[in-house]
């Protein structure tokens, strides 16, 4: 966690000169140059939640007020690589890996972020180029979906937690997996020869320039954060 000053409208809602950010650090502890696919997408340092449902102004404030700051939530970052990579917020009593409903808190957060930051543009989604995953595309149009790490180096990405601070409450931030796959799963797509919908896997290149594709498990941790809800939102 770290705090940064932001020249945005969020300043007036936080009653604070700074905005909290969650730092995700990729550490290469080996003597090899490696590259890995991300299990999430960083879209302008804003958490990727469910699509906003276009709630604005006082309606957002009313919904924020009904969120109990006493409920503990887990915030799952990631998903199936390049397929479902959104963050998902769930009460800590709900099993992420079981069948469950997508909680309204995710939609509220999405609208809060959309209202505060008004993000523009989109990252290139790897699903849009599934048929041409090549070395050239990975280092160009798909570069935001991968991390390249020289030996004993690290790479840091930060995400604004302004929306969580506005809502208030206790949150545990954690990744949804601890293993890097060497392929991405696509589909369904219509096969003209078989005349049916099919799924298929695309393998990433073993090596790009001097960077070797890392496969296997990685170490991760979780972060517990408690935010006090702003007095004017209680």
Per-residue model confidence as pLDDT tens digits over 135-146: 888 888 788 889
CA–CA distance, 192 with 176 (Å, rounded to integer): 35
Q: Is residue 233 part of a domain?
A: no
Q: Is residue 234 part of a domain?
A: no
In which residue are the tokens 């090596």 written? 207
Is the pLDDT at 175 greater than 70, yes or no? yes
Q: Is residue 231 part of a domain?
A: no
The model's pLDDT over 12-44, given as tens digits with 9 standing for 90+, comes to 555 566 788 999 899 999 999 999 988 766 666
Q: Is residue 232 part of a domain?
A: no
**Which residues lie below 8 Å from residue 109, measured CB to CB, with a gap of 6+?**
47, 49, 89, 163, 164, 167
Q: Is residue 200 part of a domain?
A: yes
pTM: 0.79
Phi then psi dihedrals of residue 51, to 5 deg: -55, 140
At 73, the pLDDT band (50, 70, 90 cuts) reads very high
The per-residue pLDDT of the chain, averaged, comes to 78
Q: Is residue 204 part of a domain?
A: yes
Average pLDDT over residues 163-183: 87
Number of domains forming the structure of the chain: 1
Is the pLDDT at 87 greater than 70, yes or no? yes
| Structural domain range at position 195 | 2-226
Q: Is residue 219 part of a domain?
A: yes
Average pLDDT over residues 118-125: 53
Q: Is residue 123 part of a domain?
A: yes
């Amino acid at each position: 966690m770290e705090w940064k000053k932001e020249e945005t409208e969020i300043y007036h809602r936080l009653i604070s000169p700074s905005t909290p950010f969650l730092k995700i650090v990729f550490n290469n502890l080996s003597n090899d140059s490696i590259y890995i696919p991300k299990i999430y997408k960083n879209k302008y340092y804003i958490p990727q939640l469910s699509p906003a449902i276009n709630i604005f102004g006082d309606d957002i404030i009313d919904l924020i007020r009904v969120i109990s700051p006493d409920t503990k939530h887990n915030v799952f970052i990631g998903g199936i690589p390049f397929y479902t990579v959104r963050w998902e917020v769930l009460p800590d009593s709900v099993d992420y890996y079981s069948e469950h409903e997508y909680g309204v808190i995710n939609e509220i957060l999405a609208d809060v972020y959309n209202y505060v930051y008004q993000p523009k543009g989109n990252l290139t989604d790897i699903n849009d180029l599934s048929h041409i995953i090549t070395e050239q595309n990975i280092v160009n149009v798909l570069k935001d979906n991968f991390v390249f790490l020289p030996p004993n180096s690290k790479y840091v990405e930060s995400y604004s937690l302004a929306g969580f601070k506005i809502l208030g409450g206790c949150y545990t931030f954690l990744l949804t997996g601890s293993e890097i796959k060497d392929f991405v799963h696509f589909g369904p797509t219509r096969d003209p020869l078989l005349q049916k919908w099919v799924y298929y896997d695309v393998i990433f290149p073993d090596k790009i320039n001097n960077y070797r594709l890392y496969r296997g498990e990685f170490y991760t941790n979780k972060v517990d954060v408690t935010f006090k809800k702003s007095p004017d939102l209680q």
